[in-house]
Structure 1
Amino acid sequence: MRVLVAEDDNPLACELARVLRTAGFAADTSANGEDAAHLGDTEPYDAAVVDVGMPVLDGFSVVRQWREAGRNFPVLILTARDTWTDKVQGFRAGADDYLTKPFVPEEIVLRLRAMIRRASGFAASRIACGELVLDSQNGTFELSGQPLRLTGFEWRILSTLMLRKEHVIPRSEMIERVYEFNSDVDSNSMEVIIGRLRRKIGPVRIETVRGHGYRMTAHPAPPPR
């Protein structure tokens, strides 16, 4: 899963990106509102963290532009202002959640996980596909009741598949949701990671739909004819 951090305070932006990457997310950063608006309009983010007081274009305007353009990923607004009118302005612009500074960076991880889960249509924090379970609150996976150890890339891919289980995700979209902006992506890296995941969770759960992409399913694939 991939998140945009739009924050002009460079030390804070770097710290948020570090915390998000440690939690398994791919994290892009932007230091001004104009760049943030462009990235959010052209890249497939699962969520965004947006500071209100950015240069060039303020955070409220950024979120408003996204919503007017039909970009519906969840947005968490950050601000040093703790007034009711500012909160109202953020929600009217299209934000989904609001956090005032100072804050504990790890709280953003919890809020983002909850927002992404709800945006994907899941109310409960535990999401199951057969014997595989994602605890979206903790960001952990279990297989048959046992903890599943995953690399960062494996976690991003498996989380993306679980949140859209039984739906085909195009390979190009999967790459965009797993890798950060301007990453150098090897042509067969996705297949390599999918192969590792299949060895860990069983090959019948991740289907390759030829010419389309990948699908997480709880049902075994039919035997080849």
Structure 2
Amino acid sequence: MSKALQIRGYFVTGTDTGVGKTLVSAAMILKLQELGLKTCGFKPVVAGMSFRNGQPFSDDLETLLLSSHHSSPHLTADQICPYHLIDPAAPHLVAKKTHIELDLEKIQAAYQILRSNHQAIIVEGAGGFLVPLSDTTSIADFANLIQLPIILVVGIKLGCINHALLTVEAIQKRGLNLAGWVSNQIEPSSEYLRMNIDYLSKILVNDYQTPIIGNIPYMGHLMHNTYSVRDLNFASTYLDASLLIY
């Protein structure tokens, strides 16, 4: 078996909500598929859905399915995400309001079903790394359960250095493997934003042995839409496939 075929997948987290986790996750799915791996996406919970023809749908799940269907054309939103919450708020708050229990065992069971049918899984977290699922559990607990290497998506904006370093500290505190990070330019480029990327690239390698996997340029016209295959392929060209092999 080649080194590439030993990849089990990654857990993709972010410095905040809206920093591009879905874009990066879907682009990573395509990148691993290019390496010959049967790969799909998974999301423990989605909070915030729209309605299409009277039926709820999620842009995040539509995007993950778009990339996953290259390997598994019959996957459904229910299979890649066990909890679909309508309101756009922290998952534990929506769950409490609607009397739903976000159960880690149910989430893990759904993940394991996909695990048994795919060579690699890209798991996209919900919001930031420490987003609660209940009063006693969080997204970080699920990351700890499945023990995939973690990719941190940093939305490049004012304040991102602090957000990135706090997230890195939280990941390392749990003894998890932070395999790399992706810079996603969610605002038009400027000198100071480029300096943020340079600073993070230096400190994350020197102090945390965490390389930059890719630097995705500003795609602002797509920030609030489901991405097309062309968009995902464009983003994937900015990811270094050699750094995704372990």
TM over 0.5: no
| Structure showing greater relative contact order (alpha-carbon pairs closer than 8 Å, 6 or more residues apart) | 2
TM-score bracket, shorter-length normalisation: 0.3 to 0.5
Query: Larger Rg: 1 or 2?
Result: 1
